[in-house]
Amino acid sequence: MLEVGIGTGLNHEHYPAGVDSTGIDVSPRMLVRARRRAADVEQLPFDDDRFETVADPVGGLRELARVVRPHGRVLLLEHVRPRNPALARLADLISPATRRLIGPEVNRRTERNVEAAGLEIVDVRRDGVWRGIKARPRSEPTDDAAT
């Protein structure tokens, strides 16, 4: 299992016993905390302090679509841009600071990015600025579907 955006590793305790997992994140500080949480975290095959940022979230999601099996699923838990216009503007204003200080952006438009990456959203659970998104590789239409 690949967990992209593992953050501080809070999900590790919810993995089934014996699952082979790999976690990645753009925030080195969060990865340090995730390593402490998981006794069996494998080392990433990258030099320390290699990545500054991920500039293309759609590109990253396309990679998830590429590596997941055809009947597999992509599960996302994301903090996203609020729907309330005043709060959305505030998220836009503070996002550069949160990105610089702790890594994540707080104004992501993840649902739009998931679809732009070629994934099909199966379910979305909304809770304030949090989204639990279940997606899968978009199935190609067959010739039979057109008739």
Name every residue whose Cβ is closer than 8 Å to that of residue 51 and which is 6 or more positions away in sequence: 26
Domain boundaries of the chain, sorted by first residue: 2-146
pTM of the model: 0.57
Average pLDDT (36-52) is 56
Q: Which one is predicted more confidently, 135 or 26?
A: 135
Average pLDDT (47-70) is 72
Task: Give yes or no for residue 144 having a pLDDT over 50.
Answer: no
- Hey, what long-range contacts does 114-123 have (CB within 8 A, 24 or more apart)? 114/61, 114/74, 114/76, 116/58, 116/61, 117/58, 117/59, 117/61, 117/62, 117/64, 117/65, 118/62, 118/65, 119/61, 119/64, 119/65, 119/74, 122/73
Task: Give yes or no for residue 41 having a pLDDT over 50.
Answer: no
Q: Residue 147 — pLDDT band, cuts 50, 70, 90?
A: very low
Assess contact for 75 and 133: CB atoms under 8 A: yes
Collapsing DSSP states into helix, strand and coil, what is residue 41? coil
Q: Does domain 2-146 match CATH 3.40.50.10470?
A: no
Average pLDDT (30-48) is 65
Give the other-Cβ count within 10 Å of 17's Cβ: 4
Average pLDDT (93-102) is 81
Task: Give yes or no for residue 63 having a pLDDT over 90.
Answer: no
Element at 111 (helix H, strand E) = helix 110-116
As a whole number, the mean pLDDT across the chain is 77
Task: Give yes or no for residue 127 having a pLDDT over 80.
Answer: yes
For strands 130-137 and 119-127, give the pairing: antiparallel
Q: Which one is predicted more confidently, 61 or 19?
A: 61
